[in-house]
């Protein structure tokens, strides 16, 4: 790579009238060794290792000193190679520039014309040392500087003032070094859950000439041994430019002997260009991976190190690092795990949260499972006086803290003594007891504690006492034992363990007698496959079903167990009165009268799955006037030991007189306007009966239009068909058709034909069920109803939307290419066939091509005619989409033209639908711009949106974000783009999220988005297979602006030669953790000599109770508080401990508050919710009961405050608006409730009442002010 350097030469002209010209000469430069004496030329044997690139003088300087008629001649030796005069065109910076690189020269002479005024003549000579020179690397390393030899003089041989004839200027060499930077986007890694999509970014720095360019680099990123697993999702090489490209050859994960893991990335290629001043600092390698941390890791900070090599000229290896924090649950962390419960079992671990259970096998030999427990101090202070009380796994064991049954249904006897590690053995004593309810009191005889148990299998409790031991921050201990899983277990067997650690919590304000409750951990055989089945009829059991009518039964088979059920078969026996049927097209059916047992092969039913089977039966002829039919299902499975029976369904059956058959001539699926014909036959079941005056009625279903009706008969005598229309009437108002059939017998006399037309469906209705029945009655026969004939009317419907690759309402330059994109979605109820799409290309555009992008779409053909009409015919399946991309180019026109594009879709069934209109302005051709193409400015346009479903795709309904600051960085100048006044251009997104940079000169740029990083992060970068109009084009990176380091979203290099569109940014909302606490008074109980009275306070913030004055000294009040913790964030969390700052005049009783415990500092604590997850939006409550012995002196207001003392979430996030245990009343994790106790006496009551009102206003007002400020 060339090294560029510059020399600025200033000629001070003090007497212009005495000088005819100024001459500046420069010979070949010399390399100089460290001794300052030994030199080597930059030209050896005619080969120039340094050469001139440019000569530059400001036009204003030239015009001032030499005037318009002046000139400067540039020579190489005696050869004139260039002249600057009035015909020389200045560049965009108003400099007169001569390109000298083509001459490959290493000496120069510059001669000016006569100066016309005094002043400074300032010229800049730019030179470069070539990349490939004749000196070796070892020789170059000996050179310390570069000597420049310059002579400046007038034509009368007078030396320029302030210079010597032979001026030696020295440029010291600075050895470039290989530099890289390592950053990690998520520096807080949870020890509880897998940390998803952690981005590790290695920036190979080439943004300064002090950096070496890279050749075939390797990166070795070593993560601390606390990280157990690295799952690499993706490795990307970003911010490549043409001269900085490196190819990703491979990557792998290498386990190291010390337990650390190294991600090794190998890149291939040689960089040839710097990225001077670039925002990205150089090429970035971004590794996205899921990281799993060892659950025993304490809160601590570690370093991720990166060793990186560069093989450019001399191979070298360097190292950099980045800090990460391991975030474990707060306070004392209790971790329980079980292993070896089955062969090759994965360890199941429960850590400060919901219970965990390992599944063990049934009907196998006994085996020993290993249980290991860990206690880690994640407080910022030490703890001591530690004892651990635990229960082994035995049937009926109870939780130590609550006394509730743990759910153990079997006993797993201890198979080993309890081994404690992580502490000097001399400081540990392990006690055992056969008492399953033993307390930690060693002096209590009933606890039966012993250090030498006679039989470990009988042990039910253990107590570990640590003597003369302090557990400092980050330290911990472990203890473990083996327990035997019994042989030949059946399903529904479980065993659980539990322990509580008691300790002195040495907080800065003094020691607190504290405790930590472990998470419930155990093993279970599971429920196995548990089949539950229900059978249901579509006819109510109290409704009579007549002969010939249908009954639909639905069978549901659910597996509520823990294992899948294999080879599931359902068997249903039908009584003789019912026959299984199968429907055919048009409403007719096939009957299986002899098949009285139905078998359904359901197959496999997965855990929590529900399989559904429906079948139809018809009521057969009945021997009795009324009968009943009972059926149930039997379910068998190879996974079950017995058959499971469903509930029994009973239906009442009634003998019918009319045998009615009906069908239609159409398919079940109907279209609007389609003809629908119903055909019915009517006869009697009983051959010996006759029905006189038979009347048929039919209410034409909503959605059908009645057309006509007739009875088709066959005249046997005349041997021909006849249509009878006599006796047919239709009431238009009620839509009721009435047909007098006359006499009905056991024989079919004709077919009743009813003709209808399907009506149009209502707007936005695309599917409608049509259900038709007929009713029959006759003399001495009650009305009977036919089975329904059901059809579905479906309507085709499509939705068409149009977008463009150039944002709407933008100006489009002549010859600019872009596309219209039409998305057509089938939102109707069935496939749309032969759908015609058409659009007319505006005359100001030239059609290029059409592309159809399909999703199970059948494209039939497309064409374009001489009038720019594009037509395309296609079919789209229900629920699918098609995308039509029409590529165009703007024509050259003489005047600006406003154009618009609209698409139309049509078919016989849907009519014509049009898309939204997209408008642009085609700019008139500017011939001056064409002639000066390099000076034409362009635009960069984009949009910022909230990626609400985190899919990396800009959806139509997702929120567009306004007021996001956007800046433009010029990669060629290494500076932010400024306006004509030198102010940095800062665009802000509009209400629709869009921004535009106008008048952008051609070049290479980076777009910088300064968004609210506290609440958002950049979504997935350019997600694969997503259209560039819908993806996100920026990644998060750490940049420096105005000397301040911050995170911003930046794009890769954008080369602007045409207008650039759709440079978009999608933002995802950062997860927030926010627990609030609210304390209220729920109940006050008053006890005095008259008795006990209880008062419901309805969870108020201020509760008042009047006492009888003469009884005050004999009164005790009992106050029940409710403390509610609500998760107002978006992350599930735990409140590990609540503190109540109990007033000194109140008394605490452990008998009334089993979940609370006291400490020496006067506060009381509750940890009953420590292992209960509080999901977003949920509230969990605890109650606290305090008492007070009243006296006449103790009347008045009692204020009691509670606060969240410890809180935690699996992601390790801090609460957004409060800090635990800091006693700040203006935070929402702290709340108080007041009780006002007064005496019920005449005038005093009025006075007190006024006081109450004032206090209530103040208290409630303060509460709402606090909330308003916080929100």
Which pLDDT score, from 0 to 100, does residue 163 have? 42
What residues have CB less than 8 Å from 934, skipping those under 6 apart? 1002
Q: Radius of gyration (Cα) for the chain, nearest Å?
A: 45
- Tell me the pLDDT tens digit for each residue of 355-365: 899 999 988 99
**What is the residue range of 25's domain?**
3-172
Percentage of the chain beyond pLDDT 70 is 95
What residues have CB less than 8 Å from 272, skipping those under 6 apart? 1, 213, 243, 244
SS3 336: strand
Secondary structure, 3-state, 1168-1201: CCCCCCECCCCEEEEEEEEEEECCHHHCEEEEEE
Reported pTM: 0.72
- Is the confidence at residue 858, as pLDDT, over 70? no
- Is the confidence at residue 1238, as pLDDT, over 80? yes
SS3 69: coil
- Is the confidence at residue 970, as pLDDT, over 50? yes
Which pLDDT score, from 0 to 100, does residue 289 have? 96
Of 904, 928, 952, the position where a domain reaches its end is 928
Q: Does residue 142 contact residue 19 with C-beta atoms inside 8 Å?
A: no
CATH of the domain at 623: 2.60.40.10
- Is the confidence at residue 1254, as pLDDT, over 60? no
Residue 364 lies in a domain: yes
Q: Which of 883, 1002, 858 is nearest to 932 (CA)?
A: 1002
- Tell me the pLDDT tens digit for each residue of 630-646: 999 999 999 888 899 99
Which pLDDT score, from 0 to 100, does residue 150 have? 84
The enclosing H or E element of 927 equals helix 927-931
Residues 1001 and 1132 in one domain: no
Average pLDDT rounded to a whole number, residues 410-431: 96
Residue 792 lies in a domain: no
Q: How confident is the model at residue 1269 (pLDDT cuts 50, 70, 90)?
A: very low
Average pLDDT rounded to a whole number, residues 834-849: 92
Of 327, 348, 373, the position where a domain reaches its end is 327
Residue with token string 């535009």: 996
SS3 937: coil
For 561-565, 864-868, 878-882, which range has the lowest pLDDT when averaged over its residues?
864-868
- Is the confidence at residue 670, as pLDDT, over 50? yes
Number of domains in the chain: 8
Residues 323 and 355 in one domain: no
Which pLDDT score, from 0 to 100, does residue 1083 have? 96
- Tell me the pLDDT tens digit for each residue of 1186-1208: 999 999 888 999 999 999 999 99
CATH of the domain at 694: 2.60.40.740
Mean pLDDT of the chain: 89
Q: What are phi and psi of 871, to 5 degrees?
A: -130, 145
Which pLDDT score, from 0 to 100, does residue 1262 have? 39
Residues 33 and 87 in one domain: yes
Average pLDDT rounded to a whole number, residues 964-968: 96
Which pLDDT score, from 0 to 100, does residue 1261 have? 39
Q: How confident is the model at residue 719 (pLDDT cuts 50, 70, 90)?
A: low
> What is the biggest distance separating any 2 CA atoms in the chain, rounded to whole angstroms?
148
Q: Which of 957, 976, 975, 951 is nearest to 965 (CA)?
A: 976
- Tell me the pLDDT tens digit for each residue of 526-546: 888 999 999 999 999 899 999
- Is the confidence at residue 834, as pLDDT, over 70? yes
Of 654, 673, 705, the position where a domain reaches its end is 654
Tokens of 690: 């006759």
Q: How confident is the model at residue 1097 (pLDDT cuts 50, 70, 90)?
A: very high
Residues 1091 and 1137 in one domain: yes
Which pLDDT score, from 0 to 100, does residue 1241 have? 57
Average pLDDT rounded to a whole number, residues 984-992: 93
- Tell me the pLDDT tens digit for each residue of 305-345: 999 999 986 778 899 999 999 998 889 999 999 999 999 98
Cα torsion 416, 419, 425, 430: sign: negative
Which pLDDT score, from 0 to 100, does residue 129 have? 87
- Is the confidence at residue 962, as pLDDT, over 70? yes
C-alpha 91/C-alpha 85 separation (Å) is 14
- Is the confidence at residue 97, as pLDDT, over 60? yes
Tokens of 302: 């570690």
Residues 246 and 223 in one domain: yes
- Is the confidence at residue 158, as pLDDT, over 70? no
Which pLDDT score, from 0 to 100, does residue 860 have? 53
Residues 1144 and 1026 in one domain: no
- Tell me the pLDDT tens digit for each residue of 1021-1044: 999 888 888 899 999 988 888 778
Residue 1048 lies in a domain: yes
Residues 449 and 362 in one domain: yes
Cα torsion 205, 206, 207, 212: sign: positive
Residues 1061 and 993 in one domain: yes
Residue 831 lies in a domain: yes
- Tell me the pLDDT tens digit for each residue of 924-944: 887 666 555 556 778 899 999
Residue 166 lies in a domain: yes
Between 1242 and 63, where is the model more confident? 63
- Tell me the pLDDT tens digit for each residue of 219-264: 999 999 999 999 999 999 999 888 888 999 999 999 999 999 999 9
Average pLDDT rounded to a whole number, residues 138-153: 82
Residue with token string 């899948």: 564
CATH of the domain at 158: 2.60.120
Residues 397 and 477 in one domain: yes
SS3 991: coil
C-alpha 7/C-alpha 163 separation (Å) is 15
Q: How confident is the model at residue 1267 (pLDDT cuts 50, 70, 90)?
A: very low
Residues 243 and 265 in one domain: yes
Which pLDDT score, from 0 to 100, does residue 1127 have? 96
Residues 626 and 692 in one domain: no
Task: State the DSSP string of 675-742.
Answer: EEEEEEEEEES-TT--EEEEEEEEEPPTTEEEEEEEEEEEETTTTEEEEE-TTEEEETTTTEEEEEEE
Which pLDDT score, from 0 to 100, does residue 931 have? 56
Average pLDDT rounded to a whole number, residues 385-412: 95
Cα torsion 438, 442, 445, 449: sign: positive
Most confident of 45-49, 65-69, 303-307, 659-663: 303-307
Residues 26 and 13 in one domain: yes
Average pLDDT rounded to a whole number, residues 92-98: 88
Residue 158 lies in a domain: yes
Residue 766 lies in a domain: no
C-alpha 517/C-alpha 1168 separation (Å) is 8
Residue 793 lies in a domain: no
């Amino acid at each position: 790579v060339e090294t560029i350097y510059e020399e600025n030469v200033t000629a001070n002209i003090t007497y212009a009238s005495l000088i005819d010209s100024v001459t500046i000469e420069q010979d070949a430069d010399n390399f100089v060794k460290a001794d300052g004496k030994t030199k080597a030329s930059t030209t050896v044997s005619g080969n120039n290792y340094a050469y001139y690139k440019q000569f530059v003088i400001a036009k204003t300087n030239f015009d001032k000193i030499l005037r318009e008629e002046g000139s400067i001649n540039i020579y190489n030796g005696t050869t004139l190679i260039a002249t600057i005069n009035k015909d020389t065109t200045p560049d965009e910076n108003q400099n007169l520039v001569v390109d000298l690189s083509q001459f490959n020269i290493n000496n120069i002479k510059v001669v000016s014309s006569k100066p016309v005024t005094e002043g400074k003549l300032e010229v800049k000579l730019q030179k470069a040392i070539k990349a490939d020179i004749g000196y070796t690397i070892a020789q170059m390393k000996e050179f310390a500087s570069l000597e420049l030899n310059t002579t400046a003089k007038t034509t009368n041989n007078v030396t320029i003032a302030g210079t010597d004839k032979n001026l030696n200027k020295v440029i010291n060499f600075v050895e470039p070094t290989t530099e890289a930077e390592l950053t990690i986007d998520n520096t807080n890694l949870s020890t509880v859950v897998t940390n998803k999509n952690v981005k590790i970014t290695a920036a190979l720095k080439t943004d300064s000439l002090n950096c070496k360019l890279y050749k075939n680099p390797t990166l070795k990123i070593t993560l601390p041994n606390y990280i157990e697993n690295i799952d690499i999702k993706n490795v990307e090489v970003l911010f490549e430019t043409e001269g900085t490209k490196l190819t990703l050859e491979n990557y792998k994960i290498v386990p190291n002997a010390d337990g650390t893991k190294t991600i090794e990335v190998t890149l291939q290629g040689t960089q040839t260009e710097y990225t001077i001043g670039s925002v990205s600092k150089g090429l970035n390698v971004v590794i996205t991976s899921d990281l799993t941390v060892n659950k025993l890791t304490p809160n601590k900070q570690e370093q991720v190190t990166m060793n990186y090599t560069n093989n450019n000229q001399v191979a070298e290896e360097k190292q950099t690092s980045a800090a990460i924090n391991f975030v474990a649950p707060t306070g004392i962390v209790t971790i329980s795990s079980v292993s070896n419960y089955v062969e090759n079992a994965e360890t199941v671990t429960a850590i400060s949260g919901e219970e965990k259970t390992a599944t063990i096998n049934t009907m196998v030999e006994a085996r020993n499972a290993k249980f290991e427990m860990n206690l880690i101090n994640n407080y910022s202070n030490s703890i001591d006086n530690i004892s651990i009380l635990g229960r082994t796994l035995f049937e009926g064991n109870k939780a130590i803290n609550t006394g509730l049954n743990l759910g153990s249904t079997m006993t797993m006897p201890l198979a080993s003594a309890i081994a404690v590690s992580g502490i000097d053995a001399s400081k540990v004593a392990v006690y055992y007891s056969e008492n399953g309810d033993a307390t930690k009191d060693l002096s209590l005889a009933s606890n039966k504690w012993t250090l030498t148990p006679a039989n470990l299998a009988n042990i039910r409790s253990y107590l570990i006492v640590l003597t003369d031991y302090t557990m400092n921050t980050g330290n911990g201990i472990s203890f473990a034992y083996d327990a035997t899983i019994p042989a030949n277990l059946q399903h529904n067997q479980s065993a659980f363990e539990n322990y509580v650690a008691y300790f002195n919590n040495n907080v800065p304000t003094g020691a607190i007698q504290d405790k930590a409750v472990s998470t419930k951990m155990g093993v279970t055989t599971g429920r196995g496959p548990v089949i539950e089945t229900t059978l249901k009829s579509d006819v109510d059991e109290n409704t009579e079903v007549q002969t010939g009518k249908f009954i639909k039964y639905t069978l549901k088979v659910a597996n509520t167990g823990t294992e899948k059920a294999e080879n599931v078969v359902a068997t249903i026996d039908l009584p003789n009165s019912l026959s299984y049927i199968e429907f055919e097209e048009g409403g007719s059916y096939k009957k299986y009268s002899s098949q009285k047992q139905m078998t359904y092969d359901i197959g496999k039913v997965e855990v929590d799955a529900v399989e559904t089977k429906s079948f139809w039966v018809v009521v057969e002829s009945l021997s009795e006037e009324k009968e009943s039919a009972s059926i149930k299902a039997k379910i068998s499975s190879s996974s079950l030991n017995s058959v499971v029976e469903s509930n029994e369904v009973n239906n009442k059956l009634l003998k019918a007189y009319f045998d009615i058959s009906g069908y239609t001539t159409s398919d079940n699926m109907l279209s609007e306007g389609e003809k629908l014909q119903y055909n019915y036959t009517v006869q009697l079941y009983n051959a010996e009966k006759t029905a006189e005056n038979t009347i048929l009625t039919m209410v034409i279903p909503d959605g059908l239009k009645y057309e006509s009706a007739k009875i088709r008969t066959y005249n046997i005598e005349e041997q021909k068909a006849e249509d009878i229309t006599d006796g047919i009437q239709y009431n238009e108002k009620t839509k009721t058709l009435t047909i007098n059939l006359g006499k009905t017998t056991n024989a079919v006399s004709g077919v009743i034909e009813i003709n209808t037309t399907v009506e149009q469906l209502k707007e936005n209705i695309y599917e409608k069920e049509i259900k038709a029945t007929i009713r029959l009655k006759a003399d001495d026969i009650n009305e009977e109803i036919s089975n329904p004939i059901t059809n579905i009317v479906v309507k085709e419907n499509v939705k068409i939307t149009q977008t463009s690759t150039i944002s709407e309402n933008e100006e489009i330059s002549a010859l600019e290419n872009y596309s219209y994109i039409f998305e057509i979605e089938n939102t109707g109820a069935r496939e749309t066939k032969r759908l015609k799409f058409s659009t007319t290309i505006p005359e100001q555009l030239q059609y290029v091509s059409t592309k159809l992008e399909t999703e199970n779409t059948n494209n039939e053909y497309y064409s374009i005619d001489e009038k720019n009409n594009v037509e395309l015919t296609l079919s789209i399946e229900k629920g699918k989409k098609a995308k039509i991309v029409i590529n165009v180019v703007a024509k050259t026109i003489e005047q600006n033209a406003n154009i618009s594009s609209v698409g139309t879709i049509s078919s016989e069934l849907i009519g014509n639908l049009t898309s939204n209109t997209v408008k642009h302005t085609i700019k008139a051709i500017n011939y001056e711009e064409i002639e000066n193409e390099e000076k034409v400015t362009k635009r960069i346009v984009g949009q910022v949106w909230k990626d609400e479903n985190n899919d990396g795709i800009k959806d139509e309904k997702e929120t567009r974000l306004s007021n996001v600051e956007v800046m433009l960085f010029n990669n060629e100048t290494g500076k932010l783009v400024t306006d004509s006044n030198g102010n940095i251009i800062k665009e802000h997104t509009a209400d629709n999220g869009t921004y535009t940079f106008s008048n952008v000169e051609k070049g290479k740029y980076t777009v910088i988005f300064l968004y609210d990083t506290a609440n958002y992060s950049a979504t997935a970068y350019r997600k694969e297979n997503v259209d560039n109009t819908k993806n996100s084009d920026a990644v998060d990176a750490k940049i420096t602006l105005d000397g301040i380091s911050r995170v911003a979203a930046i794009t890769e290099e954008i080369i602007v030669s045409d207008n650039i569109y759709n440079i978009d940014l999608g933002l995802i909302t950062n997860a927030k953790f926010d627990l609030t606490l609210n304390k209220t008074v729920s109940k006050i109980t008053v006890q005095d000599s008259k008795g006990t009275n209880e008062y419901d306070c309805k969870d108020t913030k201020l509760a008042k109770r009047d006492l009888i004055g003469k009884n005050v000294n004999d009164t005790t009040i009992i106050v029940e508080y409710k403390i509610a913790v609500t998760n107002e964030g978006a992350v599930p969390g735990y409140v590990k401990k609540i503190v109540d700052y109990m007033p000194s005049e109140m008394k605490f009783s452990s008998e009334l508050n089993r979940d609370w415990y006291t400490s020496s500092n006067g506060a009381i604590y509750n940890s009953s919710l420590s292992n209960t997850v509080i999901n977003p939006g949920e509230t969990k409550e605890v109650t606290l009961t305090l008492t007070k012995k009243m006296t006449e002196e103790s009347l008045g207001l009692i204020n009691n405050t509670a606060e969240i003392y410890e809180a935690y979430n699996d992601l390790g996030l801090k609460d957004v608006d409060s800090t635990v245990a800091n006693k700040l009343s203006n935070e929402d994790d702290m709340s108080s409730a007041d009780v006002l106790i007064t005496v019920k006496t005449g005038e005093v009551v009025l006075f007190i009442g006024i006081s109450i009102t004032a206090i209530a206003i103040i208290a409630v007002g303060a509460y709402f002010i606090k909330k308003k400020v916080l929100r």
